[in-house]
Amino acid sequence: MRVTRKSIIFETIVERLFLVIGMLCLFLLMLISVFLFTEGLPILKNVSPGEFLGGTQWYPTSGNPRFGVLPLIMASIAVTLLASLIAVPLSLAIAVYLAELAAPRVREIVKPVVEIIASIPSVIIGFFGMVVVAPFLQAKFGLDTGLNLFNAALMLAFMAVPTIASISEDAISSVPVSLKEGSFALGANRWQTIFYITIPASLSGIWTAVILGISRVIGETMVVLMVAGGAAIIPKSIFDPVRPLTSNIAAEMAEAAVGGDHYHALFAIGIILFLITFAFNLVADYLSNRYKFKGS
Amino acid sequence: MLSRRIKSEAVETAMFATIRVLSFAVLAFLVFILGFIISRGYSALSWEFISGMPRDEMTAGGIFPALLGTFYLMIGSALVSIPIGIITAIYLTEYSRRPALVKLIRLGVSNLAGVPSVVFGLFGLALFVVFLDFGTSILAGSLTLGILNLPVIIRSTEEALMTVPGTYREASLSLGATRLQTIFRIVLPNAMPGILTGVMLSLGRAAGETAPIMFTAASYYAPELPASIFDQVMALPYHIYVMATAGTHITETRPIQYGTAIILILLVLALNSIGLVLRYRFRKRMKG
């Protein structure tokens, strides 16, 4: 194969082209924020930022519409916190089990099964929450409705487990063997080594996992749309029906007229979600780059 | 001293038991979800259910239009995400001599992966449906899902490209092949199983996502099959959502809901299983 001048020119053109396409992700990210802000910010012409973020009444379609998103924000926070409380211990158990306890053959089966959980469409999880978990909760606790904060948190926790577990497992597995051997040599047993040495040493990776898991939970839509109950109130109990940010967009976008206040308000909620998840991802990225074991 | 040892051993046993129980509780929950839906829905399955049109105001008949719509969206989004995703990964691993730019692009990819799916839906609505005036259509939905899937393709392709040994490239280059020839004749063929993993995972995601297509592509009921890429489509996940939450026949149509859920689960699990098996084999080969 002779390297001709023509082929050098061709190679250069292709390289430039690949650079442009490679930059596309950054461009798209920018484009997403541009469209969110141009469609979302106009709501602030009619509603002050304080009224929007601090208002406790969300009546977008009434004669005198009110756009207070505080109940929606509180709902998202409550659902996310509760889901994390359930998901983190379960995920860490799986991570420790896979990294330290499971026999290699069991591990080879359990690991892909955990990945299968991640692939189940959220609408299926939501559907299950509606038809199975909701009636169960309603009967068990004598509630008005089983579609509530607790149900949503439970389903979301299940969905967050694969994310948190697999990243934590990577972190736990990457702890140098020499650290563990040092612990064993001092007479510690396997649990003491895991608890006092391995987990503290992989804590930054575990934090990354937890933050990414939480970010996934905040952004999840279908599950909360189907099982959270949909009432735009600030929750007082874990059995209250709630209306998190994501589900509110999904539930109302179809009825909002393009270019109207309601439409802009829903995009403004999109901005809030975008900024929150963006911040979480930056923190996760920072943590995962900052503390990596550079060999033992 | 001895009692302390006994105590710490008891703690170890208790903790390990707890860890095992919690781990298997999660797996049991997965089995329960799948088992429950399959046991309730399998009686609704039939050839007519898969190949027929909905009848009697959607309370009977088949789900063919939803299946077809999901297929169109999978193919459409793949046409967007696969070429762009693979080329981005090639640029990141094979070309770029600027580490800062590579880092920035990788950060962009991981942030794109973190954007909530409903925000992709908003973006698709604002850009494709309204601004570019594609309307609620297969085109708008495919573009939205394609962008959503870019990080999936980029990451798995990058991983696959990086496992191809550097010596392969050097051998090819030393025989006089150009960089591009090396990439297309040596690197990509060797990385193909790993790339296909990403393709399968992204197809599964395109089939299962609901929020991004709600305002960009999906319709509750279409009396006719879509004739062009500018038509709305029914889609499996949206079909489940609407049938389960809206309308006056929620309880009567439960069997259809379970049946549709089974079809969606089978579709997504099949795609993901193929992807996971390919990856498993690929990693084993590259190690061995």
CB A134 within 8 A of CB A146: yes
- Which phi and psi (to 5°) does residue B127 adopt? -85, -55
> ∠ at Cα B21 (B13, A131), nearest 5°?
165
Tokens of B59: 């309370």
Nearest to B91 among A21, A93, A130 (CB): A21
| A260: exposed, middle or buried (Cβ count in 10 Å: 0-12, 13-18, 19+) | middle
Helix B64-90 to helix A5-22 angle (10° resolution) is: 120
- Alpha carbons A230 and B145: distance in angstroms, whole number: 26
Nearest to A112 among B105, B254, B276 (CB): B276
> Residue B271: its pLDDT value, please?
95
Does residue A113 belong to the interface with chain B, where contact is any CB pair within 8 Å?
A: yes
Q: Which residues, at least 6 apart from B238, have a Cβ–Cβ distance to it below 8 Å?
A: A123, B66, B210, B213, B214, B218, B220
CB A56 within 8 A of CB A68: yes
Contacts of B187 in chain A (CB under 8 A): none
- The DSSP symbol for A237 reads S
Does residue B122 belong to the interface with chain A, where contact is any CB pair within 8 Å?
A: yes
CB B93 within 8 A of CB B160: no
CA separation (Å) from A147 to A75, A131, A251, B35? 13, 10, 15, 22
Q: Are A191 and B12 within 8 A, CB to CB?
A: yes
Tokens of B21: 């129980």
Residue B207 to chain A, least CA–CA distance (Å): 8
Q: Are B19 and A28 within 8 A, CB to CB?
A: no
Q: Say whether B164 sits in a helix, a strand or coil.
A: coil
CB B81 within 8 A of CB B154: no
Residues 23-62, chain A: which have Cβ within 8 Å of B? 23-26, 28-29, 31-32, 35-36, 38-39
- Alpha carbons B37 and A118: distance in angstroms, whole number: 17
> Residue B280: its pLDDT value, please?
84
Q: Are B214 and A218 within 8 A, CB to CB?
A: no
CA separation (Å) from A99 to A29, A96, B168? 35, 5, 33
Nearest to A1 among B37, B108, B176 (CB): B176
Q: Which residues, at least 6 apart from B266, have a Cβ–Cβ distance to it below 8 Å?
A: none
DSSP secondary structure string, B211-259? HHHHTTTB-S--SS---STTS-B--HHHHHHHHHHSSS-TTTTHHHHHH
Does residue A122 belong to the interface with chain B, where contact is any CB pair within 8 Å?
A: yes
CA separation (Å) from B188 to A87, A107, A213, A289, B98? 39, 30, 32, 28, 22
Residues 59-88, chain A: which have Cβ within 8 Å of B? none
Tokens of B165: 């040994």
- Which phi and psi (to 5°) does residue B271 adopt? -60, -45
> Residue A296: its pLDDT value, please?
38
Q: Digits of tens for pLDDT over chain A (296 positions)?
A: 456 778 888 888 998 999 999 999 999 999 999 999 999 999 999 899 999 999 889 999 888 889 999 999 999 999 999 999 999 999 999 999 999 999 999 998 999 999 999 999 999 999 999 999 999 999 999 888 999 999 999 999 999 999 999 999 999 999 999 999 999 999 899 999 999 999 999 998 999 999 999 999 999 999 999 999 988 889 999 999 999 999 999 999 988 889 899 999 999 999 999 999 999 999 998 888 776 654 43
Q: Are B20 and A101 within 8 A, CB to CB?
A: yes
Low-confidence stretches of chain B (pLDDT < 50) are none
Q: Which residues lie across from A202 on neighbouring strands?
A: none
Tokens of B203: 């197809």
- Alpha carbons A264 and A60: distance in angstroms, whole number: 11
Contacts of A113 in chain B (CB under 8 A): 27, 30
Q: What residue type is assigned to position B264 of the chain?
A: L
Most distant CA atoms of chain B, gap in Å:
80
Q: Are A18 and B87 within 8 A, CB to CB?
A: yes
Give all strands (DSSP E) within chain B, no chain letters: 54-55, 60-61
- Alpha carbons A139 and B93: distance in angstroms, whole number: 56
CA quadruple B249, B250, B255, B256: dihedral sign: positive
- The DSSP symbol for B43 reads G
CA quadruple A93, A94, A100, A105: dihedral sign: positive
Q: Which residues, at least 6 apart from A265, have a Cβ–Cβ distance to it below 8 Å?
A: A40, A43, A47, A52, A60, A67, A69
Q: Which residues lie across from B55 on neighbouring strands?
A: B60
- Which phi and psi (to 5°) does residue A242 adopt? -135, 170
CA separation (Å) from A64 to A192, A255, B26? 62, 17, 47
> Residue A241: its pLDDT value, please?
94
